[in-house]
């Protein structure tokens, strides 16, 4: 369900038809996708015809952003092709106001925050694919242990202002809408194959055709790597791998009414299946070990592995009159199951405590690094969970003209249900000759046996008013959410005895927002916006919902070669909430929440680009782009104590963790008839990893860094090209994070060679 932009140059029938669909996929679809397919070549810069787009967009093309009364950013197909990144966090470095925390180096489970919302597992922002909430359980358990495969994304939209109100439910930071490959305008597709260091192989293939009445697309991404880190212990065993294997399949089918019909109707089906196996751990390194060998992993992490399987199904019906209205109804279902088997403790001590003080825990550290241990000294947990989310969302929009005033009224509803089911156990091991040997097997459910669920009903009203030089977008969203957590006995894996404890909580909230834009001639715009920030509590949580007042104001300049946008934002938190997860390294029970009270995050977002044209006797252009985020303040406004490790005991004025004061990205590209070159530099300033103030403490902070990426391309023909891609060009060694347990490195210099063919 998303925004209507008839007044921005998009054909309303095309936009209405963008509602897509995703699902539990059946075997016959998998078989149909097993052969190579390719990336659709519809150019996002060209105005689409009514039937040429099947994706839900919130913003539209980048050219529409200049008249959006709020901060919004589109990473379009052209920008994605500049670096062909498979890591969404590398892509989002190009968006001001977005903060990311690396973890595995490949962006498999991203940590994304917007304007101080918090980064952990991207749980504090609204994540969508083609306009449908895509987190495993968006209301009950929003941590993004599943994230759509970046390689099959056609564009990304980021909303940080009042426009995020219509998306909901999480409006504190904003929303990210990932736009999948559209069905091409004519029969065609793309093939992109690459090989790289560390045994990396990657294939992105799709093929499709748009007919007058029936259209289709098939797509797959097959990606694998041996990983850039190495585990201590005997070489040549499967347990030494730190890599991953991803298989992603997608199909789209679209059935349209006669294009000449007065009443346009379209039925769209989108079905997808993703399987991921990644050999990833939460065990990092001590400071001394990182200094000596940053890409080392201790022997005790051998066998740590994430296994995830995701199915999605969306079915949409689109109807539009030749008069002034259009409507979309989308039914969706997402299933996700995963088991992250990973190291939890040594001799009963958590791995975070061991690495924080390896002298006190010298025996435990010795076991981690390969010294012989007693039976069951090393404990690993099956963090097994199953999720589903399902619902129906609908929207209708009307266009009205009153003399010189144009009005678009849009209203929509969402009826949603989701659930997280935990049934977890722990297994014991001993270390012998730097090899793990299993010595005990836990009973299913003996470490966690509970179900958390949510039912939500929401409605929004969104209005766009254009009168003279003014554009106003008042709107509001109402959310009614019922949450329930059912705990079962850990000696009752079948749950035959029923729940031992049931905790219910509910919240009803009105989320208003308003954006305003004034045109100062053809090139300058002034804009401002205000909206309520909201995040729902967890099922059974005693914490209050998160709430804030978010304000922004700025200006835009759009010229022939120069474009500049500067926006100052203030997020004034009435109650900032922290949630204990394994990935934060918190000391409380997983899922516990803490009221952090009042906090303030404010700063400046700057986005600009300038193009040198007709260089080399008119044979190429040279664009320069700059994105800068200055977070002038990110601090708590009250004091409190908590067991939430990133906060701890907080004093007034303590700075929020993992929010650097400065972030800067500069990029350029040269595109010639025969060759192309793209180069970017990403600067991230020094940041705290634990709330605090005053001088930085080395053990509670991360130093600044600059990471360069490069892609060079050679065109053999208009359809066939080859490229060399290098991530971290100058091989900068840096600490990406200090959580959840020890220091974790960013991706080392990794080179790829690729071949692209457009059919």
Longest CA span, the chain? 84
Residue 37 lies in a domain: yes
The pTM is what? 0.90
Contacts for 621 with CB less than 8 Å, ≥ 6 apart: 611, 612, 613, 614, 615, 670, 671
Q: What is the 3-state secondary structure (H, E, C) of 186-250?
A: CCEEEEEEEEECCCEEEEEEEEEEECCCEEEEEEEEEEEECCCCEECCCCCCHHHCCCEEEEEEE
**Tokens encoding 589:** 């029970």
| Distance in Å from the first CA to the final CA of the chain | 32
DSSP letter at 12?
H
Q: Within 13 Å of residue 491, how many CA atoms lie on the same side as its CB?
A: 0
User: How many C-beta neighbours within 10 Å does residue 212 have?
Assistant: 10
CB 529 within 8 A of CB 69: yes
Residue 228 has a pLDDT of: 96
Please give the residue range of the domain that contains residue 430.
6-758
Collapse the DSSP code of 300 into the 3-class scheme (helix H, G, I; strand E, B; otherwise coil) and give the result.
helix
What CATH number should be reported for the domain holding residue 196? 2.40.170.20
Strands 470-487 and 675-684: unpaired
Burial 621-634 (b: 16+ CB within 10 A, else e): bbbebbbbbbbebb
Residue 220 lies in a domain: yes
Q: What is the 3-state secondary structure (H, E, C) of 86-118?
A: CCHHHHHCCCCCEEECCCCCCCCCCCEEECCCC
DSSP characters over 350-411: EHHHHHH-TTTTHHHHHHHTT----TT-EEEEEEEEEEEEEEEEEEEEEEEEETTEEEEEEE
CB 117 within 8 A of CB 124: yes
User: CA-CA distance, 643 to 562, in Å (whole number)?
Assistant: 49
User: How many C-beta neighbours within 10 Å does residue 466 have?
Assistant: 19
∠ CA 402-406-409, rounded to 5°: 105
Could you tell me how far CA 679 lies from the centroid of its own chain?
23
Contacts for 617 with CB less than 8 Å, ≥ 6 apart: none
Nearest to 53 by CA among 147, 128, 134, 131: 131
Residue 1 lies in a domain: no
Residue 13 has a pLDDT of: 35
Mean pLDDT in each 10-residue stretch from start to end of the chain (759 residues)? Answer: 34 35 34 33 36 57 69 91 95 95 93 90 94 96 95 94 90 95 96 97 98 96 96 73 96 93 94 98 96 97 97 97 90 98 96 94 97 97 97 95 92 97 97 96 96 98 94 96 97 96 96 96 95 94 90 95 96 86 66 83 97 82 95 94 79 94 96 92 96 94 97 96 98 93 96 97
Nearest to 536 by CA among 8, 153, 170, 76: 170
Residue 54 has a pLDDT of: 64
Residue 587 has a pLDDT of: 56
| Host H or E run for residue 327 | strand 325-346
Structural domains of the chain, count = 1
User: CA-CA distance, 663 to 24, in Å (whole number)?
Assistant: 40
> Phi, psi at residue 302, to the nearest 5°?
-60, 135
Strands 175-180 and 126-129: parallel
User: How many C-beta neighbours within 10 Å does residue 509 have?
Assistant: 18
CB 184 within 8 A of CB 23: no
User: CA-CA distance, 252 to 607, in Å (whole number)?
Assistant: 35
Residue 460 lies in a domain: yes
Residue 748 lies in a domain: yes
Strands 126-129 and 524-535: unpaired
């Amino acid at each position: 369900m998303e925004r209507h932009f008839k007044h921005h140059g998009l054909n309303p029938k095309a936009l209405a038809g963008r509602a897509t669909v995703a699902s539990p996929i059946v075997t016959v679809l998998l078989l149909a996708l097993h052969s190579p397919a390719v990336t659709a070549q519809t150019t996002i810069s060209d105005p689409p015809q009514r039937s040429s787009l099947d994706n839900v967009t919130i913003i539209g093309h980048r050219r529409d952003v200049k008249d959006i009364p709020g901060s919004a950013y589109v990473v379009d197909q052209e920008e994605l092709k500049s670096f062909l990144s498979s890591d969404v966090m590398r892509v989002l470095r190009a968006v001001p106001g977005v903060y990311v925390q690396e973890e595995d180096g490949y962006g498999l489970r991203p940590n994304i925050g917007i304007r101080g919302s918090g980064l952990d597992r991207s749980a504090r922002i609204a994540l969508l694919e083609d306009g449908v909430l895509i987190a495993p359980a968006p209301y009950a358990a929003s941590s993004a242990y599943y994230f759509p495969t970046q390689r099959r994304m056609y564009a990304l939209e980021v909303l940080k202002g009042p426009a995020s109100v219509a998306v909901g439910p999480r409006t504190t930071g904003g929303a990210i809408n990932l736009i999948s490959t559209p069905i091409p305008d004519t029969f065609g597709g793309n093939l992109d194959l690459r090989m790289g260091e560390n045994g990396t192989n990657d294939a992105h293939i799709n093929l499709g055709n748009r007919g007058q009445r029936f259209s289709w697309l098939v797509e797959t991404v097959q990606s694998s790597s041996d990983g850039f880190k190495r585990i201590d212990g005997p070489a040549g065993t499967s347990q030494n791998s730190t890599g991953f294997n991803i298989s992603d399949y997608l199909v789209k089918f679209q059935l349209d009414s006669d294009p000449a019909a007065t009443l346009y109707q379209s039925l769209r089906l989108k079905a997808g299946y993703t399987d991921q196996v990644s050999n990833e751990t939460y065990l990092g390194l001590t400071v001394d070990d990182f200094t000596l060998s940053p890409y080392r992993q201790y022997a005790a992490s051998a066998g740590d592995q994430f296994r995830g399987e995701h199915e999605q199904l969306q079915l949409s019906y689109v109807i539009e009159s030749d008069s002034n209205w259009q409507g979309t109804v989308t039914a969706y279902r997402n299933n996700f199951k995963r088991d992250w088997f990973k190291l939890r403790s040594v001799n009963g001590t958590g791995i975070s405590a061991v690495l924080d003080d390896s002298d006190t825990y010298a025996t435990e550290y010795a076991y981690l690094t390969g010294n012989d241990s007693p039976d069951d000294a090393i404990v690993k947990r099956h963090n097994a969970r199953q999720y589903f989310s399902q619902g129906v969302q609908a929207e209708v929009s009307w266009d009205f003209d009153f003399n010189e005033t144009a009005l678009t009224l849009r209203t929509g509803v969402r009826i949603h249900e989701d659930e997280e089911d935990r049934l977890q156990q722990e297994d014991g091991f001993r270390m012998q000759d730097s090899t793990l040997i299993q010595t005990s097997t836990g009973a299913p459910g003996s470490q966690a046996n509970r179900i958390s669920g949510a039912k939500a009903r929401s409605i929004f009203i969104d209005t766009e008013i254009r009168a003279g030089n003014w554009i106003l977008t008042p709107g509001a969203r109402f959310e009614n959410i019922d949450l329930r957590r059912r705990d079962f006995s850990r000696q009752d894996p079948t749950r035959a005895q029923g729940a031992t404890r049931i905790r219910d909580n509910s919240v009803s909230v009105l989320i208003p927002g308003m954006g305003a834009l004034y045109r100062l001639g053809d090139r300058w715009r002034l804009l401002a916006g205000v909206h309520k920030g909201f995040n729902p509590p967890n099922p059974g949580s005693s914490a209050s919902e998160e709430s804030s007042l978010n304000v922004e104001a700025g200006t835009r300049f759009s010229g022939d070669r120069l474009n500049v946008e500067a926006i100052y934002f203030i997020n004034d938190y009435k109650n900032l909430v922290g949630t204990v997860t394994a990935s934060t390294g918190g000391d409380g029970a997983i899922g516990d929440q803490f009221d952090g009270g009042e906090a303030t995050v404010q700063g400046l977002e700057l986005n600009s680009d300038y193009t040198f044209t007709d260089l080399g006797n008119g044979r190429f252009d040279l664009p320069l782009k700059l994105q800068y985020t200055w977070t002038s303040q990110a601090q708590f406004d009250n004091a409190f104590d908590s067991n939430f490790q990133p906060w701890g005991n907080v004093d007034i004025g303590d700075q929020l963790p993992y929010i650097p004061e400065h972030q800067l990205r500069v990029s350029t590209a040269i595109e010639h008839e025969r060759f192309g070159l793209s180069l970017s530099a990403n600067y991230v300033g020094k940041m705290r990893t634990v709330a605090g103030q005053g001088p930085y403490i080395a053990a509670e902070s991360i130093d600044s860094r600059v990471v360069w990426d490069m892609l060079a391309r050679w065109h053999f023909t208009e359809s066939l090209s080859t490229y060399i891609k290098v991530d971290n060009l100058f091989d900068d060694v840096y600490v990406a994070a200090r959580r959840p347990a020890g220091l974790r490195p960013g991706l080392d210099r990794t080179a790829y060679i690729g071949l692209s063919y457009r059919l």
